[in-house]
Amino acid sequence: MSCMEVVCCWSMWLSKLTLLLVFGVLCFGQIPMTPEQLIARNLGPRDEVNKPFPPHKIIGNIYFVGPQALGSFLIVTPAGMILINSDYEATVPVVKAAVEKLGFKFTDIKILLGSHAHGDHMEGDAMVKELSGAQVMAMAEDVPALQAIRPGNKAHPIDRILHDGDQVTLGGTTLTAHLTPGHTKGCTTWTLKAEEGGKSWDVVIVGSAGVNPGVKLVNNAEYPQIADDFIHTFKTLRSLHCDVPLGSHPGMYGMAAKYAMIGKGPNPYIDPEGYQIEIDTNDAVFYRTLAAQKKAAGLN
């Protein structure tokens, strides 16, 4: 390798590291290096998970309607609306108020989708269906876990079971479901296109690629293939073209910092570099955790 090539490689690596540092420090206060830091970044103070955040337009026909720590998104079409993530049942009134503050009717929600079968993202599905009549759709691999989520002992509604690559279309907008397992067996990443400024932008709503504290990546009797599934997920996420990264937690895409920049220049949500950095961050936490668990199990 020539000196010039060495300089170029070093420059590219340094630029990427700088982006990572800036993104991590400005948006999250620190770069998550452990599962504990990752979940702390995503959830923030536990007693503020449902704290309202200003509902707002992200890009095209996509709006944020969740609280400050949970990613709920409204996709508006001429034929009605799609809601992604009902969140906790206790969050549903917060989401409903956000939808109505934007000038939309909650009863116009025709389809309810989700990121993955954890209570903080899909516990409120039954209530949203009761209030709007929406059709609830979920990835097949998450159905057993969803059926165990029964707030008030209400059965979890599922009107359509989805599989990897399935499409959901309403009013000219099409979303594609990508199975990105590991965080849960049916964790789902959604992709769609948004039109703005005479251009079409690729939007990726990441289900999650994070390893939660205490999760066994080695010798997991209930989920033997969990490590392989995480590796598959990172491969899938890297294969997706992304202009606008979103996620099941606003901390995954630095929403607070981006919201503060709205109207001060180009749309801050257009952030392909941030998407790659988020994948790299979760990838690093996963492999660090996997190596530690293998060592503890005497598998190194």
Structural domain contains residue 266: yes
* CA separation for the pair 41, 49 (Å, rounded): 12
Instruction: Give 74 or 49, the one with higher predicted confidence.
Output: 74
DSSP 228-262: HHHHHHHHHHHHS--SEEEESSGGGTTHHHHHHTT
Instruction: Label residue 34 by pLDDT band (50, 70, 90).
Output: very high
Structural domain contains residue 29: no
DSSP state of 11: H
pLDDT score, position 153: 95
* CA separation for the pair 260, 63 (Å, rounded): 15
Six token digits for residue 127: 């209530």
Strands 160-162, 135-139: parallel, antiparallel or unpaired by DSSP? parallel
Structural domain contains residue 259: yes
Structural domain contains residue 232: yes
DSSP 131-142: HH-PEEEEEGGG
Instruction: Label residue 33 by pLDDT band (50, 70, 90).
Output: confident
* CA separation for the pair 91, 48 (Å, rounded): 11
pLDDT score, position 44: 87
Structural domain contains residue 30: no
The range of the structural domain enclosing residue 208 comes to: 38-296
Six token digits for residue 260: 């503060």
Q: Look at residue 235 and tell me whether its pLDDT is greater than 90.
A: yes
What phi-psi label fits residue 208: left (phi over 0), alpha (psi between -120 and 50 degrees) or beta? Answer: left
Q: Look at residue 29 and tell me whether its pLDDT is greater than 80.
A: no
Q: Look at residue 69 and tell me whether its pLDDT is greater than 50.
A: yes
DSSP state of 29: S
Six token digits for residue 124: 């409120």
- Residue whose tokens read 């009761």: 130
- Cβ burial, residue 171 (10 Å; 0-12/13-18/19+): middle
Instruction: Label residue 204 by pLDDT band (50, 70, 90).
Output: very high
pLDDT score, position 30: 59
* CA separation for the pair 64, 82 (Å, rounded): 12
CB contact at 8 A, 242 and 189: no
Q: Look at residue 96 and tell me whether its pLDDT is greater than 50.
A: yes
Mean pLDDT of 181-209: 98
* CA separation for the pair 184, 140 (Å, rounded): 12
CATH number at residue 82: 3.60.15.10
Structural domain contains residue 161: yes
Instruction: Label residue 236 by pLDDT band (50, 70, 90).
Output: very high
* CA separation for the pair 142, 4 (Å, rounded): 51
pLDDT score, position 25: 40
Strands 56-59, 62-64: parallel, antiparallel or unpaired by DSSP? antiparallel
Element (H, E) at 101: helix 92-101
Structural domain contains residue 81: yes
Measured CA distances, 57 to 99, 169, 185, 262 (Å) = 11, 20, 31, 10
pLDDT tens, position by position, 138-164: 999 999 999 999 999 999 999 999 999
| Residues forming beta bridges with residue 84, ordered by sequence position | 73, 113
Structurally, the chain folds into a number of domains equal to 1
> What residues have CB less than 8 Å from 54, skipping those under 6 apart?
259
Element (H, E) at 146: helix 143-147
The candidate with the shortest Cα–Cα distance to 88, out of 182, 153, 151, 158, is 151
Structural domain contains residue 119: yes
pLDDT score, position 47: 83
Residues of the chain with pLDDT > 90: what percent? 86
